[in-house]
Amino acid sequence: MKIDRRSFLAFVLGGAAGTALSPLPWKLTDDISIWTQNWPWTPVPPKGETTYVASTCTLCPGGCGIRVRRVEDRVVKIEGRKDHPVNRGGICPLGAAGAQLLYSPWRVRQPLKKVDGRFVPVSWEQAIGEIAGELRELREAGSPEAVAWIADTDRGTTAELIRRFLTVYGSPNFIRTPSAQDAWETALYLTQGQRATAGFDLERTSFLLSLGSGLLEGWGTPPFVFRACGAVRDRNGRFVQVEPRLSKTAAQADQWLPILPGSEATLAFGLIHVILKEGLERKPFVASRTTGLEDLRRNALREAYAPEAVAQATGLEAKTVVELARAFAAAERPLAVCGRGAGRVPGGLQETLAVHFLNALVGSVNVEGGVIAVPEPEYIRWPEPEMDAVASKGMQTPRVDGAGSDRFPLARYLLNRLPEALLEGEKPAVRVLFVSGGNPLYSLPDSERTAKAFARVPLLVSFSSFFDETAAAAHYVLPAPTYLERWEDVPGAAGFPKPVIGLARPVVAPRLATMPTGDVVIRLARRLGGTLRAAFPWESHEVCLRQTFAASWEPLRRNGFAIDESFKPQPFETASRRFEFGNADLKRLAEFRPLPAPGDPGVFKLTLVPYDSLRLTAALGTPPFLVKALESEILWKNDIRVEIHPQTARDLGLADGADARLVTPRGEARVKLYLTEGIRPGLIGMARGLGREAHDRFLAGRGVSTNRLLAAVEDPSGFEAGWGIRARLERA
Amino acid sequence: MNRPKNKRYGMVIDLDKCTGCGACMVACMAENNIPFRDDDTDKLLSVSWMQVYRLSNGKPFPHAEECFLPRPCQHCEGEHGHSPCVSVCPATATDYDMHTGIVSQIYTRCFGCRYCMAACPYHVRQFNWWDPVWPEGMERALNPDVSVRMRGVVEKCSFCYSRYQTALNRAYVEGRRELAEEEYQTACTQACPAGAIVFGDLNNPAHRVHQIVKPDPAHGGRPRNPQAFRLLERLGTNPKVYYLTRRDWVRRAGDNEIQKT
């Protein structure tokens, strides 16, 4: 057959028309889309039986109740427990991403020992044996006080086991990581004589005044605080946020007062001034339940705290200060809170005291809707351990961080002072340092100095489940199981106004060769023998836990938490049985002076203020879901974006998104700019939590850590009180 | 047994309560097997069914105000189910379910033409430019009730349809045909620590969503509550996600008014 042009075209066109009329193309597109979705590397999650386990989240000091969804033996989702008094079903983004921590391939899989600068896997037997050997040597040399232990809580059985170990071993150096609770606990002790944590009855307050607290950025227990902040409005209450930048908290508040950073305490004294001057204090409460008001009167009625002076110091208008004081005092149940950002920095003691006085003046102390002293739980009643001569002598030595010394008599723990102590002398005061909570190498200000100080410790042992900055610098890493793989009692929920105990339980079997820190303590004690062995009669932490709770163990295990619903605030325990605005201890405090940001304002024209975000964590590594959810106003590609006011940018000749060099007296960093009207001119806002050197590839090496740029600032009581540092921005 | 009445599942988000924390986004990612990449900072390329936007009132310091707006799929009803995306999909990969009011997305039918993405006025649809890869071990946390999507398909919020199916299955086993309000809730609603999200059947006067927005059936479900509004109301897409606020500027931003300069 001859193929001419005509028949060729007829064939092609006819074929095309025929194909188009047949179902073939449609079938093919459908099939192609199905075929192209069946790749062996696209995972198909296996089906199985779904079960729910009630447990407690320990990722922050909140202690929310969680409901873990399992499919067979896999954790697929973590939700909030609806019947839990603290979070009532809510969950924060970190808690919701918990399964990613459990299954992270960047977990420490077994005990590690650093040999010639590299980690090699060792057995638990060997690691514990070698560390016990070092501890024995140190004790035989007569210096047991050269051991220190950093933990993120001083409550619960694990912390008690550690403290017991140190006591019987002979070291007073148990150090809790810093937080705003340090200052609050001290303030409660000084004014109310109560050894207690501060709870805030936010759900019942009608006027919430936050002096810099990031109530919606991780302060306290987020789901509880969130719910309470929303409830203030539902009751037609008022919520005022005092903060230099338009944080998420300020954005939500009824009123944002953009104060000059670091002047919050001055404002608190200014409010006290107005209240006292105008006689607005709650007279029945002040008359019947307080004493020493003359002292506060003398202090606060000075000219320095008159509205005009306060306006000058805070950058607010005098009128605003007076109005705020009047409205606060007139509210039915006013409540003032402080502790900057997420409350990870204690802040000055005087600042917290000023806020506490403010609450006492309006009668909001130990009452419904006020600050409530929540007593420390007392369920741990172990027999007093027997101590030998070495231990007794060691326990007499002053603490390495200076807490409780003549210079800092009020502080109980001062981790911020540890780097200085380690840098002193030819040999560092600490020979063996255990870190079972927090991540001091990342979370302490002035990272360079901190790293230098920690590098001097001959034996650094980390208990981290993840490769964090501290673990990376350690000589041994003894990984603990995550909170989804172990038993743990969780006493208290940060900022919650009632005593509550949660129980974390193994939702899945431990995935890796980990060991609970409590078990390591018991094993170390057994290896060391003598009084140490005798002080730890328990086989394991779990046995210890069961025996400690005794009869209440079963109900706790079944219910997952225990709460004292009938709890009523306890009476004041001061000598006068009243709230004391003034007493001998308070008189001994150094006079309040605002702490300036370090650095020469002539050279550094701007001020860097760090801020917290719930999508970034402080000590722990941020899981991938949160990094993904992070705003592009904070992280762009690998660069951190810092907030500045458009006017500040114009003065510097810089535009939105421009690359810049951020220089402070402590260091410099490459940043990108984010221009916003939501920050005071002259300030640089920078998110905490980036610039990680360890952790996974989603997080590590991205952005800059604020702590590399910040300097340590100490208030006269010894607490870390830094709120910023002088800085300048240059075109990159 | 009689066929159950048609539902119109919808959501109300109280913008005065939303704190912008992102718990809804993370809960959604965990529930719906959302993949994550080394660099997810470019939100136009990042897959996230729930996205929290930051709105600003545009005023200078210190009068600046901000508001956070969580944006799931709006599940537009359009006119009789003609939502913008459904009307353009050549593969019938997305459909409006008259029984639930949920706009579905069937991944195995989608061949990635992205016509729906262009049609959607809310940017709720996202395209998988890359193969989803989970770091070794993390695939253990995947939810078997939601299929994992692969490169080349469009995906979006389904109002946690798998949760609806699970709840419905359970109800059927128990001999019921109707779900109680709390039996079917989306992951974001459940997670929200501020209690800003409410979810339920807009047709059911007993459900909170209905009571809050008081939808007007004569006008495509337009809210009769003056504090409630829908995004880009005037487009007539009739979304089933409502927002609440007392702030006028937020309501105006929701309708994207063109400002006279």
Per residue in A109-124, pLDDT (tens digit) is: 999 999 999 999 999 9
3-class SS of residue A104 = coil
pLDDT at A645 over 90: yes
- Average pLDDT score over residue span A4-24: 92
Distance CA B36, CA B48 (A): 9
Residues facing A673 on adjacent strands: A642
Residues A511 and A22: their CA atoms lie apart, in Å, by 55
Report pLDDT for A29.
Answer: 79
* Integer Cα distance of A225 and A87 in angstroms: 9
pLDDT tens, residue by residue, A618-637: 889 999 999 999 999 999 99
Find the mean pLDDT for residues B174-190: 96
Beta strand A147-151 with A432-435 is parallel
User: Of the candidates B70, B233, B253, which has an alpha carbon nearest to the alpha carbon of residue B157?
Assistant: B70
- At residue A644, what are phi and psi to the nearest 5 degrees? -140, 160
- Numbers of helices and strands, H then E, in chain A: 27, 28
Dihedral of alpha carbons A645, A646, A649, A651, sign: negative
Q: Do B193 and A222 touch (CB under 8 A)?
A: yes
3-state secondary structure at position A434: strand
pLDDT higher than threshold 70 for residue B2: no
Phi then psi for A255, rounded to 5 degrees?
Answer: -145, 135
* Token digits of residue A448: 């360079």
Q: What is the pLDDT of residue A698?
A: 94
Mean pLDDT score across all residues of chain A: 95
Length of chain A in residues, anyone? 732
Question: Residue A76 is inside which H or E element, if any?
Answer: strand A74-80
Q: How confident is the model at residue A3 (pLDDT cuts 50, 70, 90)?
A: confident
Compare all CA atoms of chain B with the CA of A90 and give the residue at the minimum distance. Answer: B193
Cα B217 to the center of its chain, rounded Å: 20
Query: Who among A32, A100, A635 is closest to B141 (CB)?
Result: A100
Residue B92 neighbours by CB under 8 Å, 6+ apart: B106, B109
- Chain A hits for B17, CB-CB cut-off 8 Å, are 230, 233
Task: Give mean pLDDT, residues A156-165.
Answer: 97
**Distances in Å between the alpha carbon of A672 and those of A471, A636, A637, A698, A703?**
30, 8, 10, 19, 10
Instruction: Decide if A78 contacts A90 (C-beta within 8 A).
Output: no
Where does chain B have alpha helices with state H? 23-31, 84-88, 115-119, 161-173, 187-191, 208-213, 248-254
CA distance B128 to chain A (A): 12
Does residue B261 register a pLDDT over 70?
no
Q: Give the pLDDT confidence score for residue A30 in this predicted structure.
A: 78
- What are A43-95's pLDDT values in tens digits? 999 999 999 999 999 999 999 999 999 999 999 999 999 999 999 999 999 99
Higher pLDDT, A233 or A364: A364
Q: What is the pLDDT of residues A189-222, one digit of tens each?
A: 999 999 999 999 999 999 999 999 999 999 999 9
Chain B CA closest to residue A254 = B16
Using the structure block, give the residue that is written with the tokens 């939105």. A656
A148 forms beta bridges with A433
SS3 category, A590 = coil
In contact, A166 and A149? CB cutoff 8 Å: yes
CB contact under 8 A, B137 and A104: yes
Residue A96: list chain B partners with CB under 8 A.
23, 26-27, 30, 191
pLDDT above 70: percentage of residues in chain A: 100
Confidence of residue A40 (pLDDT cuts 50, 70, 90): confident
Could you say which of B27, B112, B134 has the minimum Cβ distance to residue A96? B27
A625 to B36: CB separation less than 8 angstroms, yes or no: yes
* Averaged pLDDT for residues A479-507: 96
The amino acid present at B1, given as its one-letter code, is: M
CA dihedral B37, B38, B41, B43 (to 10 degrees): -10
Q: What is the Cβ-side half-sphere exposure of residue A137, based on CA atoms within 13 angstroms?
A: 9
Ranges of H-type helices in A54-154: 93-96, 98-102, 124-140
**Does the structure show a pLDDT above 60 at B258?**
no
Closest residue by Cα to residue A145 from A461, A355, A460, A393: A393
How far is B248 from chain A, CA to nearest CA, in Å? 14
Q: Which tokens is A663 given?
A: 């220089």
How confident is the model at residue A181, as a pLDDT? 95
Q: How far is CA A178 from CA A189, A269, A330, A438, A540, in A?
A: 17, 25, 35, 9, 29
Strand partners, A371: A200, A365
Nearest Cβ partner for B195 among A30, A227, A628:
A227
**Residue B1 reports pLDDT greater than 70:** no
Tell me, what amino acid is at B224?
R
The tens digit of pLDDT for each residue in B118-138 reads: 999 999 999 999 999 999 999
Q: Has residue A263 got a pLDDT over 90?
A: yes
Please state the rounded mean pLDDT for residues A388-409.
96
Residue type, A726: R
Per the CB < 8 Å rule, is B61 touching A681?
Answer: yes
Please state the rounded mean pLDDT for residues A418-441.
95
> Cα dist. B96→A133, A382, B75, B79 in Å?
70, 64, 8, 11
Q: Most A CBs within 10 Å: which of B18, B24, B25, B26, as the mutation test of the A interface?
A: B26
Contacts of A703 in chain B (CB under 8 A): none
| Peptide bond connecting B62 to the previous residue in cis, omega within 30 degrees of 0 | yes
Type of residue found at A609? V
| Residue of B61, B112, B187 with shortest CB distance to A677 | B61
Note whether A111 and A476 are within 8 A (CB): yes
Give the ipTM.
0.96
Q: Are B142 and A76 an interchain contact pair (Cβ–Cβ within 8 Å)?
A: yes
Tens of pLDDT, residue by residue over A213-252, are: 999 999 999 999 999 999 998 888 999 999 999 999 999 9
pLDDT band at B3 (very low <50, low <70, confident <90, very high): low
B156-171 residue pLDDT tens: 999 999 999 999 999 9
CB B199 within 8 A of CB B164: no
End-to-end CA distance of chain A: 76
Q: Kindly list the distances between the CA atom of residue A501 and the CA atoms of A432, A488, A504, A549, in Å, as whole numbers in the listed order.
A: 32, 10, 10, 11
CB contact under 8 A, B66 and A251: yes
Q: What single-letter DSSP state applies at residue A482?
A: P
Residues 6+ positions from A497 with CB-CB distance below 8 Å: A199, A200, A201, A202, A372, A374
pLDDT at A370: 96
Q: How many CB atoms are closer than 10 A to CB A383?
A: 7
Residue A606 and residue A338 in contact, taking contact as beta carbons nearer than 8 Å: no
Q: Which residues, in sequence order, are CB contacts of B17 under 8 Å at separation 6+? A: A230, A233, B194, B195, B196
| pLDDT tens digits, one per residue of A570-597 | 999 999 999 999 999 999 998 899 999 9
Q: Of B59, B61, B227, B245, which to mutate for an interface test with A (greatest number of A Cβ within 10 Å)?
A: B61
Q: How far apart are CA A546 and CA A554, in angstroms?
A: 9
How confident is the model over B76-102, as pLDDT tens digits? 999 988 999 999 999 899 999 999 999
Closest partner CB to B29 (pick from A37, A625, A679): A625
Q: What percent of chain A has pLDDT over 90?
A: 93
Q: Kindly list the residues from chain A whose CB atom is less than 8 angstroms away from the CB atom of residue B191.
A: 79-80, 90-91, 96
